[in-house]
């Protein structure tokens, strides 16, 4: 079998080329090929320097995903990198595309690094429940300051080539032909001499004990129970407090130990689940429709966020509101989101101006006549939304896709408000829409394959993770959330308080508990939904009145300074409120409960059981295509801790 690694020699400089599409992953064959190439170079006295480069669109972008969850085969990556670092001649890494994980570790083992200006470099192992296992935590702090190394290793986010040059991770940026410039760099090193191996260099700095104590406290709080970020910090500490050989051994042992943990298994599962969310068979080989011009109806928080997301993706967006004043408010809201992206460095000044030039806010539906796709994001009321769809059906092109951002309502009924229901689809965004990754694509009974294909194409364009859902009350995510929210209310009736439930969820790994989330989102939307369902609710169904009583008092959450918690003077963090406890105790007494304390474990057992029971019903009814789609929805839309894999993974599903 042909090796994915080739070697050529010209003028005393060897070029080692990795060609393992699509991302030049460090498969067993690649590792063996690199090792063989270094041995060949070491044995060839005519070679005085080497360039390590990759074919295709990227440098080595990580491990071979086919080897995930399996014991690695020889040669092991640390041994390959040791051979690179101790090579007889200087080796220059020529980096383009992405150098991630083992790919960056390979570059770190080289004696010098030159990167294309658009390259990205990172050590994302923590996102898979791991730490670098081939010297990344030992070599990196010898090139960059520990603060920078800590950000890269414990956070997992890549840095740009420009930033890499600034912090010392790469030596040069290529402005023209990368490999040619790398070869020229290698020729310079022939004259100046081989640089010291990275692992032999002195660390850029050696922080004192207080640095590590403070960083561990901060990282552990942010990790919320995920082990790998803290373990990564410990590996970095080892890199400057232990001899190099011992630090390398400790790092590898830590990597191997973490690889076999439940958290790493859950994160590997999520890695694949996010890339394999279900697409209906009928859209295979179906071409999506054009997505150049989009319309948005409604310029509130959600509508503005959707408009901003599409503008950031390069689309032209027309937003309509009920009158000129509302349209101007919507324009300012969208402009504010874009300006926020610019201030955070996510948009250049030129890109910001370009995005604004592609946006307009109008006060009439006729402005949507040229749109390829229109998304309504008006108040969550069936009557209001039907009126919108009737108008869209009148003014939009016959081939335009019409979408609803409804959270709960029957999209089939909305589709039936049009002459052609086949072009209607649900697109349930999550707030803030320009940031949240999840997009539930709700398939109506009449949706045409081209409609669905276009919805998935939009998700890709917006860099969202699409999850297909069928039509039901709340689709996948909101239906499951409604179920466990009810269960939480029952736990309140039986003995807990909101702060007990929220603390248990935070301890499990949620960023926020359910009651803090409700206060942030507003209690009034769910209340409207409950009132809508009241007429059809079975008489014998258990129903908690606590939330209704809060809403009847006008306690809708942060926006009214009172909900499940009290928010004094505009505070974002709520405080337990005796008035809420009084209502809970009254409801317990009315229902005849003798209140009892709950442990955090007991609370989470109840929450998980209710999630899983509703999720199984969602599967059985065909609302979700597979269990992993449910987990993706709960992780990316509802804050379920990613390192726990989602409720279905926790229940033993491994599709």
Tell me the pLDDT tens digit for each residue of 450-469. Answer: 999 999 999 999 999 999 99
Cβ neighbours around 39 below 10 Å, total: 12
Q: How confident is the model at residue 553 (pLDDT cuts 50, 70, 90)?
A: very high
Q: Looking at the predicted structure, is the pLDDT value of residue 533 above 90?
A: no
Least confidently predicted of 110-114, 369-373, 407-411, 450-454: 407-411
Average pLDDT of the residues of the chain: 96
Contacts of 614-623 with C-beta under 8 Å, sequence gap 24+, read 614/479, 614/480, 614/483, 614/484, 615/480, 615/647, 615/648, 615/651, 618/472, 618/476, 618/479, 618/480, 621/470, 621/472, 622/470, 623/469, 623/470, 623/471, 623/472, 623/475, 623/476, 623/479
Q: Looking at the predicted structure, is the pLDDT value of residue 423 above 80?
A: yes
Rounded mean pLDDT of 20-48?
Answer: 97
User: What's the pLDDT at 572?
Assistant: 87
CA distance 2 to 289: 41
Catalytic residue among 125, 321, 440, 614: 125
Q: Are 110 and 92 in contact (CB under 8 A)?
A: yes
Is 43 one of the annotated active-site residues of the chain?
Answer: no
Tell me whether the CATH fold assigned to 5-260 matches the one assigned to 281-469: no
Catalytic residue among 33, 50, 105, 308: 105
Alpha-carbon distance values, 166 to 171, 177, 184, 207 (Å): 9, 21, 22, 21
Is 336 one of the annotated active-site residues of the chain?
Answer: no
Alpha-carbon distance values, 619 to 611, 624, 630 (Å): 12, 5, 9
Tokens matching residue 58 = 């990227």
* Eight-state DSSP code of residue 416: T
Q: Which CATH class is domain 281-469?
A: alpha beta
Tokens matching residue 531 = 């009132």
User: What percent of the chain is modeled with pLDDT above 90?
Assistant: 92
Q: Looking at the predicted structure, is the pLDDT value of residue 178 above 80?
A: yes
What's the fold here for domain 477-622?
1.10.1040
Is 487 one of the annotated active-site residues of the chain?
Answer: no
Catalytic residue among 102, 122, 129, 513: 102
Rounded mean pLDDT of 557-573?
Answer: 93
Q: Looking at the predicted structure, is the pLDDT value of residue 98 above 90?
A: yes
Q: Which value, in Å, is the radius of gyration of the alpha carbons in the chain?
A: 28
Q: Looking at the predicted structure, is the pLDDT value of residue 68 above 80?
A: no
Q: How confident is the model at residue 140 (pLDDT cuts 50, 70, 90)?
A: very high
Catalytic residue among 14, 63, 504, 526: 63
Q: How confident is the model at residue 65 (pLDDT cuts 50, 70, 90)?
A: confident
Q: Among residues 101, 34, 104, 12, which one has the least CA distance to residue 63?
A: 101
Rounded mean pLDDT of 336-341?
Answer: 96
Least confidently predicted of 64-73, 298-307, 554-563: 64-73
SS3 at position 570: helix
Q: What confidence tens digit (pLDDT) does each residue in 257-297 have?
A: 999 999 999 999 999 999 999 788 889 999 999 999 999 99
CATH number of 5-260: 3.90.226.10
Cβ neighbours around 296 below 10 Å, total: 32
Alpha-carbon distance values, 385 to 290, 377, 395 (Å): 25, 9, 15
Rounded mean pLDDT of 471-476?
Answer: 94
Is 125 one of the annotated active-site residues of the chain?
Answer: yes
* Eight-state DSSP code of residue 626: S
Q: How confident is the model at residue 243 (pLDDT cuts 50, 70, 90)?
A: very high
User: What's the pLDDT at 160?
Assistant: 97
Q: How confident is the model at residue 514 (pLDDT cuts 50, 70, 90)?
A: very high
Q: Looking at the predicted structure, is the pLDDT value of residue 396 above 90?
A: yes
Rounded mean pLDDT of 336-354?
Answer: 93
Q: Looking at the predicted structure, is the pLDDT value of residue 344 above 70?
A: yes
Q: How confident is the model at residue 313 (pLDDT cuts 50, 70, 90)?
A: very high
Q: Looking at the predicted structure, is the pLDDT value of residue 655 above 80?
A: no
Q: Looking at the predicted structure, is the pLDDT value of residue 109 above 80?
A: yes
Rounded mean pLDDT of 106-127?
Answer: 98
Domain assignments of the chain as residue spans, ordered by start: 5-260, 281-469, 477-622
User: What's the pLDDT at 570?
Assistant: 81
SS3 at position 118: coil
Q: How confident is the model at residue 1 (pLDDT cuts 50, 70, 90)?
A: low
Q: Looking at the predicted structure, is the pLDDT value of residue 486 above 70?
A: yes
User: What's the pLDDT at 448?
Assistant: 96
User: What percent of the chain is modeled with pLDDT above 70?
Assistant: 100
Alpha helices in 66-208, H assignment, sequence order: 77-85, 102-109, 136-139, 146-155, 161-167, 178-192
Q: Looking at the predicted structure, is the pLDDT value of residue 521 above 90?
A: no
């Amino acid at each position: 079998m042909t090796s994915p690694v080739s070697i050529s020699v010209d003028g005393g400089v060897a070029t080692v080329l990795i060609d393992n599409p699509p991302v030049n992953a460090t498969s067993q064959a690649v590792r063996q090929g690199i090792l063989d190439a270094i041995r060949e170079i070491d044995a060839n006295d005519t070679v005085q320097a080497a360039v390590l480069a990759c074919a295709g669109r990227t440098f080595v972008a990580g491990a071979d995903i086919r080897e995930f969850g399996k014991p690695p085969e020889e040669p092991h990556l640390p041994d390959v990198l040791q051979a690179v670092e101790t090579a007889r001649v200087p080796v220059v890494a020529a980096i383009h595309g992405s150098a991630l994980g083992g790919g960056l570790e390979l570059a770190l083992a080289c004696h010098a690094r030159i990167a294309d200006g658009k390259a990205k470099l990172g050590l994302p192992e923590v996102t898979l429940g791991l730490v670098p296992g081939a010297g990344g935590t030992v070599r990196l702090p010898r090139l960059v300051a520990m603060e920078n190394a800590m950000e890269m290793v414990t956070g997992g986010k890549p840095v740009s080539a420009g930033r890499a040059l600034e912090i010392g991770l790469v030596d040069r940026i290529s402005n023209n032909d990368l490999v040619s410039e790398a070869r020229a760099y290698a020729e310079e090193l022939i004259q100046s001499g081989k640089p010291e191996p990275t692992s032999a260099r002195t660390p850029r700095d050696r922080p004192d004990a207080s640095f590590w104590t403070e960083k561990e406290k901060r990282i552990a709080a942010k990790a919320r129970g995920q082990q790998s970020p803290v373990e990564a910090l410990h590996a970095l500490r080892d890199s400057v407090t232990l001899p190099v050989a011992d630090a390398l051994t400790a790092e590898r042992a830590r990597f191997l130990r973490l690889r076999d943990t439940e958290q790493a298994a859950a994160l590997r599962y999520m890695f694949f689940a996010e890339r394999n969310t279900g697409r209906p068979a009928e859209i295979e080989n179906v071409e999506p429709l054009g997505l150049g011009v989009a319309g948005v109806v409604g310029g509130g928080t959600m509508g503005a966020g959707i408009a901003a997301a599409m503008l950031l993706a390069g689309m032209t967006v027309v937003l309509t509101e009920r009158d000129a004043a509302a349209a101007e408010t919507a324009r300012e809201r969208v402009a504010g989101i874009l300006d926020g992206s610019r201030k955070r460095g996510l948009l250049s000044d030129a890109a910001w101006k370009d995005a604004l030039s592609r946006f307009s806010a109008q006060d009439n539906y006729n402005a949507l006549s040229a749109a390829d796709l229109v998304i309504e994001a008006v108040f969550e009321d069936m009557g209001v939304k039907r009126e919108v769809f009737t108008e869209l059906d009148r003014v939009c092109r016959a081939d335009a896709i019409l979408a609803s951002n409804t959270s709960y309502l029957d999209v089939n009924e909305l589709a039936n408000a049009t002459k052609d229901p086949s072009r209607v689809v649900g697109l349930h965004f999550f707030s803030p829409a320009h940031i949240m990754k999840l997009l539930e694509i709700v398939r109506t009974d009449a949706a045409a394959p081209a409609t669905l294909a276009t919805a998935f194409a939009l998700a890709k364009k917006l860099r969202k993770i699409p999850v297909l859902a069928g039509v039901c009350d709340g689709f996948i995510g909101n239906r499951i959330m409604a179920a466990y929210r009810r269960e939480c209310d029952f736990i309140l009736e039986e003995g807990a308080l909101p702060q007990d439930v929220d603390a248990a969820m935070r301890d499990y790994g949620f960023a926020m508990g359910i009651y803090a989330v409700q206060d942030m989102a507003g209690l009034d939307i769910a209340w409207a939904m409950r009132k809508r369902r009241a007429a059809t609710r079975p008489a014998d169904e258990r129903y908690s009145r606590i939330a209704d009583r809060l809403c009847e008092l006008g306690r809708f959450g942060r926006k009214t300074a009172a909900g499940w918690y009290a928010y004094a003077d505009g505070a974002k963090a709520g405080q337990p409120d005796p008035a809420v406890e009084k209502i809970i105790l009254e409801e317990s007494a009315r229902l005849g409960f003798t209140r009892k304390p709950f442990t955090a474990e007991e609370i989470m057992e109840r929450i998980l059981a209710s999630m899983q029971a509703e999720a199984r019903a969602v599967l059985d009814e065909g609302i979700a295509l597979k269990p992993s789609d449910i987990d993706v929805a709960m992780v990316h839309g509802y804050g379920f801790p990613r390192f726990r894999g989602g409720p279905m993974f926790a229940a033993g599903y491994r599709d």
